[in-house]
A and B are shown apart, each in its own frame.
Chain A
Amino acid sequence: GDSVTQMEGPVTLSEEAFLTINCTYTATGYPSLFWYVQYPGEGLQLLLKATKADDKGSNKGFEATYRKETTSFHLEKGSVQVSDSAVYFCALSDINKFYFGSGTKLNVKP
């Protein structure tokens, strides 16, 4: 069945460091892929998405590219800020289901 696997956290970075959070997926067809962010005490918010191979989703300086050949959708940001500290969830949407990864906590230190 479909699934999403993302790197375990927590990830701790200094401000202005480069961020990569890995996400790989398993699916039989061509799912849509998402990254969600959850700030402390809040619900999940859609950060970015991609619906087909080679699509790049971007928002607030974050980017992720839909790589079908490696079944990956890694989240990147060139320079993180303290305000980016949150839990990040990779997700997949297929015909009748939506699958979330287990979440990766990011801590950014000043």
Chain B
Amino acid sequence: DAGVIQSPRHEVTEMGQEVTLRCKPISGHDYLFWYRQTMMRGLELLIYFNNNVPIDDSGMPEDRFSAKMPNASFSTLKIQPSEPRDSAVYFCASSPKQGRGGYGYTFGSGTRLTVV
């Protein structure tokens, strides 16, 4: 398996522009997670999906952020309009299940977003 695939690896955009980050989870994983990592805040869970359905989006910072999962093999995180404070590394992760059964997350390599 190729693992969790994210694109692009790096994105530089101007303030006010729309940014779309993409993720392909591992086949057969029912859960997909979007995280944001910054020096100041560490690792933050933004939203997660179960079987393509958004379950918890309480970590999405503002209405400027939206996420979709149209099918089991693809998810997007969109920021519109982008702001400099959105600069961070965004990770996608997937997992076969949730709970106490030792189901760890597999992370993608991340998208480093810089908003200037």
Contacts and interface: CB of A to CB of B under 8 A. Distances in A.
A43 B110 contact: yes
A49 B100 CA distance: 11
B108 interface: yes
A20 interface: no
Given A89-B43, A100-B43, A103-B43, A44 B100 contact: no
Q: Give the interface centre of B42, B93, B101 by most chain A CB atoms within 10 Å.
A: B42
Interface residues of B, number: 21
Contact of B102 (A42, A93, A103): A93
A102 interface: yes
Contact of B98 (A36, A91, A95): A95
Interface stretch (A9-17, A25-33, A68-76, A78-86): A25-33
Contacts, number: 61
Nearest to B92: A43
A5 B110 CA distance: 24
Question: For chain A, which range describes its interface: under 10, 10 to 19, 20 to 34, or 35 or more residues?
Answer: 20 to 34
Interface string B8-49: 000000000000000000000000010000000011010000
A34 B95 CA distance: 14
A100 B37 CA distance: 12
Contacts of A103: 42-43
B65 to A, nearest CB: 20
B103 A32 contact: yes
Contacts of A31: 100
Contacts of B45: 98
A94 interface: yes
B91 A44 contact: yes
B105 A98 contact: yes
29 contacts: A30-B100, A32-B99, A32-B102, A36-B107, A42-B109, A42-B110, A43-B4, A43-B91, A43-B93, A43-B107, A44-B91, A44-B105, A45-B107, A46-B104, A46-B105, A46-B106, A49-B102, A89-B43, A93-B102, A93-B103, A93-B104, A94-B100, A95-B98, A95-B100, A96-B99, A98-B95, A98-B98, A100-B43, A102-B42
